[in-house]
Structures are given as structure tokens and as C-alpha cells.
Amino acid sequence: MAAIGRVTQTMLTDRSLTRLQGSLSRLGEIQEQLSTGRVLNRASDNPADASSAMRLRSSIGAQQQYVRNAQDGVGWLDALDSSLGSAGDLVRRARELGQQAISGAAGPEAREALATEIDQVRKSLVTSANVRYLDRPVFGGSTTGSAAFTESGGTVTFAGDANPVNRAVADGVLVDVSVAGPVAFGPDGDSVFDHLGALSAALRAGDLTAVRTGLDALEVDGKRITVARADVGARTNRVEQAGTRASDAELSLTNALSEIENADLPRTTVALQMQEVAYQAALAATSRVLQPSLMDFLR
């Protein structure tokens, strides 16, 4: 025979109040989720998910930095590509002028005119070689100076260094977004600037043998610039692809973080309605439990 335990009014009241408080607490939690739009408002809500969210936020930050690095790298490479394109056009124009001198019976005045234009080509080429991106010369390596090439006494010399300008575009992946000046324009003493100066002098002197030598040198210079530009194009593609991958990874991680932190609003709204009904029912039940007075109990 099962024993029947005595249930006092105090026990009944305590249990009712405890359950009522639990229902009210649950209602408060759901209201907070709806008002913030998040199910994870503090680490104590779900320690395991909070830890996952912290790792995801760290990964998202890293991917965002890779995207910014890639954008900066593309900016450097675009400046290089534009400059090398202009340089290639200028070298071709200089060769055309030199060929005019050896393909016809050019007199002193005509040669002087050709030499004058080649001098202007040389100045334009120096300007292209000193192009800057974010106030830094893109052909100067890691130099803190304002120009990659300087001119003194008619001689153009490289003022930068050969240090790379690396950009981290993925975990453990660095891409050099610079081109050292001598790689594109030749070393000091044997650069395209020296060859243009020599060609100009040969034209003024009427030395056709030296003009032909200058044209041969400019042909080599033109090929060197073309190779440098092709290398820049290949690196641009690599950096752009890395930037796209980082952007996609950021989006994927953000979605994963949203799954952990954000509230499913339709589902949470339904839960709130159900909890409101439950709480109202608990209130009604509790009021009935607390209603009896001592006289009711004795009666």
C-alpha cells in the first residue's frame, strides 16, 4: 500500500511560485532574443557556442584583412601596369625616331629635331618610372624616398632598393606587388635612360653606327619592359583571385556566425506566443492556489 505524503499549503505555494518564476524567466529570455535579434547575448547563454563564435570572429577578421591586402596589392600592380604600358609606348616611339634617321637622308636639322623629340621621350620615361601609389614610388622597392629614379647632370640613377613589397593575401601566402626599377628599366650605366641619351647624342653627331647600336639597345629595353609587364599581369591575376577567395571565405564564415548568434525570428516569435500562453496559465493556476485563506483551509 503506497504511502500518501502530506502536502501542505506552504509546499503548494512554494512550488507554484518557483514554477511561475521559471516561466517568467523563460519569457524574459525569449523577449531578449527578439529585442536583440540574437540567441547568444552573453557567454553564459551557451559557453560552447560562445567559444565557436569567438573563433569565427577571429577568422572573419583575418579574411577581411586579406581582402584589404589584396585590394592594396591590386592598386600597386595597376599603377605598375599603367606605367610599364606607357614606358613601352615611349620606347617604341624612340625606336621609330631612330629608324627615321637611318632609313632616309636626314640632314643636320632633321637629326636635331629627332634628337630633341628623343630627349622629350626620355623625360617622359623618367616621369613614368617615378609613378607613385599612395605617395610611394612603385619602382622604388621599400625606399622611403619620393622617387625611384633621380637625375643629376643628365644622368638618371636608381634611388630605390630591391626589397620586395609583400602583401599577405591568404594564410602563409605573400605576394610581392613591386617591381624594382632596374628589373624594368635596366641597371645604372646600361639603362634605357642611358640608351636614349646615347641615341640622342648619336643623332646630333650624325653617327649612324652609334644610332644603330642605340636602336639595338632599345629593342632589348622594350623586351625587358614587356616581360616586366607580363609578370605584373600574372601577379595581378593571382592577387585578384586570392582577394575573391578571401571575400568568399568571409561570407561563409559570417553565415556560420549568424547561425550561432542570431535568432530565428519567426520561430522565436512563435515561441514567445507559446510562452506567453503558458505564463498566463501559470498565473491563473497560481492565483487559485494562493487564494484559499485560513478559514478556507479549516473549512
Per-residue confidence (pLDDT) for residue 109, from 0 to 100 = 86
Q: In this structure, are residues 92 and 159 in contact, taking their beta carbons and an 8 Å threshold?
A: no
Give every residue of the chain whose pLDDT is below 70, as ranges.
1-5, 7, 104-105, 291-299
Element (H, E) at 133: strand 132-133
Identity of the residue numbered 283? L
Selection from 94, 50, 60, 106 nearest residue 215 by Cα: 94
Please calculate the CA angle 147-148-153 and round it to the nearest 5 degrees: 80
Please calculate the CA angle 68-72-66 and round it to the nearest 5 degrees: 30
Look at residue 185 and give its three-state secondary structure: helix
Per-residue confidence (pLDDT) for residue 16, from 0 to 100 = 80
Q: In this structure, are residues 141 and 180 in contact, taking their beta carbons and an 8 Å threshold?
A: yes
The long-range contacts involving 95-101, CB below 8 angstroms and separated by at least 24 positions, are 95/215, 95/218, 95/219, 95/222, 97/121, 98/199, 98/203, 98/211, 98/214, 98/215, 98/218, 99/215, 101/203, 101/208, 101/211
- Whats the size of the chain, residue-wise? 299
Assign a CATH topology to domain 54-256: f41 fragment of flagellin, N-terminal domain (1.20.1330)
Residues 6+ apart with CB under 8 A from 166: 174, 175, 176, 177
Per-residue confidence (pLDDT) for residue 105, from 0 to 100 = 65
